[in-house]
Amino acid sequence: DQQVKQNSPSLSVQEGRISILNCDYTNSMFDYFLWYKKYPAEGPTFLISISSIKDKNEDGRFTVFLNKSAKHLSLHIVPSQPGDSAVYFCAASGSGTGNQFYFGTGTSLTVIP
Amino acid sequence: KAGVTQTPRYLIKTRGQQVTLSCSPISGHRSVSWYQQTPGQGLQFLFEYFSETQRNKGNFPGRFSGRQFSNSRSEMNVSTLELGDSALYLCASSLRWGIEQYFGPGTRLTVT
């Protein structure tokens, strides 16, 4: 049973525009959320995180928004750059679930120059 | 600081055989986790080791096992390989359980 879902397998965006990647979760005990970026032939790289006490966290061009009532988080990349082309995974964990990370299936982002 | 390293990077095995994968975490990281990535399934958690003890375990059969050495290096073993075990196996390390993890490049296992 997939507790973290990324329903868009792929996304294409023009360079300079905003990329919005979405993630939904089902377990209300999740209280810590992360985004990872993965290039081919490399392992996932940690990008940004947010805890459930916040609804927004920003790091440079990357912002993560958390909507707890909707059990939804999103990653905004502004402006998008060709080097952002990668697979993005969201992950969630919670003390109530043993702090194990549950990952989504990933969204492949292509930024078109 | 050197990143997480995994060996070998690629492996081809036959059904019924066993395989051992190796992971060296970032220096100072004592928590090492293993994940299986297959198309359409995302990353599935296998187990986590801390100070040579398995502390957390995912929902995988007993054919999947691991261990951690005193220098925090970890190995994962899969016995009696099945075709469905073909996957990318990722190792991740962190200072402690429950915080962001740093991943190695993975070992691509193909079972024929």
Is the pLDDT assigned to residue B1 strictly greater than 70?
A: no
CA distance A91 to A74: 12
B50 touches chain A (CB under 8 A): no
Helix (H, G, I), strand (E, B) or coil at A11: strand
Q: Report pLDDT digits (tens) over A32-45.
A: 999 999 999 899 99
Q: Flag if A105 and B42 touch (Cβ within 8 Å).
A: yes
Cα A60 from Cα A77, distance rounded (Å): 9
CB atoms within 10 A of CB B58: 16
Could you read off the pLDDT of B12-61 as tens digits, one per residue?
999 999 999 999 999 999 999 999 999 878 899 999 999 999 999 999 99
Enumerate helices (H) and strands (E) in chain A, giving the number of each: 0, 11
A64-99: per-residue pLDDT in tens? 999 999 999 999 999 999 999 999 999 999 988 888
- Write out the two tokens for B89: 């196996």
Picking from B45, B56, B103, the nearest residue to A43 by CB comes out as B103
Q: Which of B72, B70, B67, B71 is nearest to B93 (CA)?
A: B72
